[in-house]
C-alpha cells in the first residue's frame, strides 16, 4: 500500500440509515421486495384497502364505509369497494 493510500480516510457509509417508521414509499417497496424474495405475485398496500372496502361494503351501507375509510364523498368509496355480484344474484333470485 502506498503512503497516500494509507493516509486516506475511510469512506462514510452513504446508505440511508433505517428510520423508526416506514414511509409510504418504503412500505410499498418493502412489500414488493418481500414478494419477490418469496417468489409470489407482487401486491401493493392499496390492494388491502380495496379489499377491506369491498368486504365492508358487503355488510354495511355506503355512508358507514365512507366514514371508516375517511373519504369525503361516497363516490370515492364506490370506486374502492367493488360491486357485490353475489348479493345482486341473490336478490334477483328472490325477486324472480
* pLDDT of amino acid 33: 94
- Range from 12-16, 38-42, 43-47, 61-65 carrying the lowest mean pLDDT: 12-16
pLDDT digits (tens, 9 = 90+) for 48-60: 888 888 889 888 9
Q: What is the pTM of this model?
A: 0.57
**Geometric angle at alpha carbon 93, from 92 and 96, rounded to 5°:** 75
* pLDDT of amino acid 37: 96
Average confidence score pLDDT of the chain: 85
pLDDT digits (tens, 9 = 90+) for 62-87: 899 899 989 898 888 888 777 777 77
Q: Which comes out higher in pLDDT, residue 67 or 8?
A: 67
Alpha helices for the chain (secondary structure H): 3-7, 24-38, 45-59, 62-69, 74-80, 85-95
C-alpha–C-alpha distance, residues 14 and 35, integer Å = 27
Amino acid at each position: 500500500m502506498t503512503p497516500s493510500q494509507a493516509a486516506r480516510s475511510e469512506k462514510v457509509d452513504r446508505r440511508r440509515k433505517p428510520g423508526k417508521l416506514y414511509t409510504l414509499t418504503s412500505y410499498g417497496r418493502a412489500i414488493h421486495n418481500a414478494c419477490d424474495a418469496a417468489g409470489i405475485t407482487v401486491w401493493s398496500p392499496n390492494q388491502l384497502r380495496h379489499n377491506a372496502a369491498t368486504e365492508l361494503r358487503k355488510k354495511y351501507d355506503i355512508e358507514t364505509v365512507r366514514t371508516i375509510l375517511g373519504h369525503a364523498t361516497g363516490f370515492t368509496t364506490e370506486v374502492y369497494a367493488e360491486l357485490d355480484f353475489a348479493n345482486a344474484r341473490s336478490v334477483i333470485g328472490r325477486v324472480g
